[in-house]
């Protein structure tokens, strides 16, 4: 499974002032990777201790989590997006599309399926042929487990404080720097 997060290019300080990111990132990418790994594995350990990971041997869970902590996790981070349109475009690609459209499936051939894709390194359209089980495995990476939502809002956009926080940010940053919509800062179709 993978996760996409949008992090603002700054933060509100305790005194209510806006503190912009230094450079292109709000947090150092390596530190973010290690922090995320630690929090994620810690939550899994707590769930295992509480008996929420049923059907698994506790010693096997502990060994697996130790192995996860020994690995460097990959956090791919892009520098912050400066324009509202860029943010909305990024969100739309990951929240309102399916993993693969029917138009990209070129057809089955024995136990394989051919797909078209765009190689963003050179901009060319290419063909990828996968074994059927591999295609299914890749598709299932995009199926959310029961109870998880596709889009969650935290921090400045959390439901309980969105209106007040965005109003405050507009006051300290200027009204043109924070988008407006009928849902306070979110695109109409989200």
CA dihedral angle for residue 35, residue 41, residue 45, residue 47, rounded to 10 degrees: 100
Higher pLDDT, 1 or 117: 117
Contact between residue 187 and residue 87 where contact means Cβ atoms under 8 Å apart: no
Side-chain half-sphere CA neighbours of 61 within 13 A: 18
d(CA 27, CA 106): 42
- Residue-wise pLDDT for 122-147, tens only, equals 889 999 999 999 998 888 877 877 87
Give the model's pLDDT for residue 180.
Answer: 55
Top mean pLDDT of 1-10, 15-24, 41-50, 178-187 is at: 41-50
Percent of the chain with pLDDT over 70: 82
Residues 6+ apart with CB under 8 A from 168: 12, 16
Confidence class for position 184, pLDDT limits 50, 70, 90? very low
Confidence class for position 81, pLDDT limits 50, 70, 90? low
- Residue-wise pLDDT for 18-38, tens only, equals 887 777 777 788 888 899 899
Is this model's pTM higher than 0.75 or not?
no
Q: Which residue has the tokens 């990132």?
A: 25
Higher pLDDT, 67 or 182: 67
Confidence class for position 89, pLDDT limits 50, 70, 90? confident
Residues 6+ apart with CB under 8 A from 136: none
Side-chain half-sphere CA neighbours of 59 within 13 A: 0
> Is the pLDDT at 114 greater than 90, yes or no?
yes
d(CA 65, CA 70): 9
Give the model's pLDDT for residue 134.
Answer: 93
Average pLDDT across the chain, whole number: 79
């Amino acid at each position: 499974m993978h996760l996409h997060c949008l992090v603002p290019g700054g933060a509100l300080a305790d005194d209510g002032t806006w503190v912009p990111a230094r450079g292109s990132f709000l947090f150092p990418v390596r530190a973010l990777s290690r922090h995320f790994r630690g929090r994620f594995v810690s939550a899994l350990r707590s769930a295992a201790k509480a008996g929420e990971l049923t059907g698994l041997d506790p010693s096997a869970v502990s060994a697996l989590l130790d192995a996860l902590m020994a690995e460097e996790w990959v956090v791919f981070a892009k520098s912050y997006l400066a324009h509202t349109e860029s943010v909305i475009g990024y969100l739309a690609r990951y929240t309102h599309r399916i993993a693969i459209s029917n138009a990209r499936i070129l057809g089955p051939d024995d136990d394989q399926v051919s797909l078209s894709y765009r190689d963003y390194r050179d901009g060319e359209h290419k063909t990828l042929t996968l074994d059927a089980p591999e295609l299914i495995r890749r598709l299932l990476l995009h199926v959310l487990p029961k109870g998880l939502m596709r889009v969650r809002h935290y921090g400045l956009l959390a439901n309980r404080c969105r209106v007040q926080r965005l109003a405050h940010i507009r006051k300290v940053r200027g009204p043109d720097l924070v988008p407006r919509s009928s849902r306070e800062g979110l695109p109409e179709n989200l």
